[in-house]
Amino acid sequence: MRKFLLSVVLLAALAGLAFGQPAGWNDAAPPFKIMDNMYYVGSKELASFLFVTPQGDILMNSGYEATVPVIKASVEKLGFKMSDVKIFIAGHAHPDHVEGDALMKELTGAQVVVGRVDADKTREFRPGGKEHPIDRLVDENDTVSLGGTTLTAHLMPGHTRGCLAWSTTLKEDGKSYYTFVECSLNGQFLQVLDNYPGMIDDFRATYKKARTFPVEVWVSSHASFFNMAAKYEKLQKRGPGDPNPFIDPEGYKAHVDQYEKSFEAAVAGGGRGGAGGGRGRGAGPAPGR
Ligand SMILES: [Zn+2]
């Protein structure tokens, strides 16, 4: 009976991962400049970023297919064009980050960049039977460059086997900032992740590696991971001389600590979720994201 119940719970969790679009995640968020040529163009929870260059733009993360129109509206609200997106960098191989990739390719005609290790999983997302586009595969330390902007790939496995973070440099008021687009360090809902051999070791190595980057400005695949709403509010109220709230090295370190802790709690609890073992939505980031 217990085994049966566990199976039911597991099936429900998997169904949620495959089809669930948690309420509010696709709601529109105001698009804005984070710093320099980097803009937030995602929804309220699913983060997408636009790097604008004189030779065309780089876009990261499509979200669900239903997120794509939200991103398009944000890009246009900022005065940019989808047709100027020349390179599209896919997010990690979960539906809330890559389901919209085919539609994004259709809208932009951009070169689609996918991490090699996540590529097979990424290809499995075929909304409406559409083939997942992949034009270039990238590995650890590979770079994507356009019009003076260079992004460097960093393999951060665990949340997915090929989770890729990206680093670049942004400038503001004559200073340069090491900028980190985090992948996902979320291991608190272990049971809905791909339990591939070595996943636990990968997670632990990734938390260590996460602390080796000289992060100053940082964001991640979910707005809630980097407290976007609060930082956006601060940015709106920013006066002359006030620091840019996205410069947040301490917040980054605290984020790594927090997610390492919740991951270890999940491991200690037999992989059945974080504190309390519950997997209900509303208690922090949703499962598997
Ligand atoms: Zn995910």
Give the Å distance between the CA of 163 and the centre of ligand 1: 9
Long-range contacts made by residues 5-12, C-beta under 8 angstroms, separation at least 24? 9/279, 10/191
Give the Å distance between the CA of 253 and the centre of ligand 1: 20
Which pLDDT does position 272 carry in this prediction? Answer: 55
Give the Å distance between the CA of 289 and the centre of ligand 1: 3
Which pLDDT does position 7 carry in this prediction? Answer: 43
Which pLDDT does position 1 carry in this prediction? Answer: 44
Give the Å distance between the CA of 54 and the centre of ligand 1: 32
Give the Å distance between the CA of 150 and the centre of ligand 1: 24
Which pLDDT does position 250 carry in this prediction? Answer: 98
What residues of the chain score a pLDDT lower than 70? 1-20, 271-289
Give the Å distance between the CA of 55 and the centre of ligand 1: 31
Give the Å distance between the CA of 160 and the centre of ligand 1: 7
Tokens standing for residue 255: 């984020």
Give the Å distance between the CA of 218 and the centre of ligand 1: 18
Give the Å distance between the CA of 8 and the centre of ligand 1: 22
Give the Å distance between the CA of 288 and the centre of ligand 1: 5
Which pLDDT does position 12 carry in this prediction? Answer: 39
Give the Å distance between the CA of 94 and the centre of ligand 1: 5
Give the Å distance between the CA of 56 and the centre of ligand 1: 28
Which pLDDT does position 23 carry in this prediction? Answer: 84
Give the Å distance between the CA of 121 and the centre of ligand 1: 12
The CA distance from 152 to 129, in Å, is: 32
Give the Å distance between the CA of 185 and the centre of ligand 1: 9
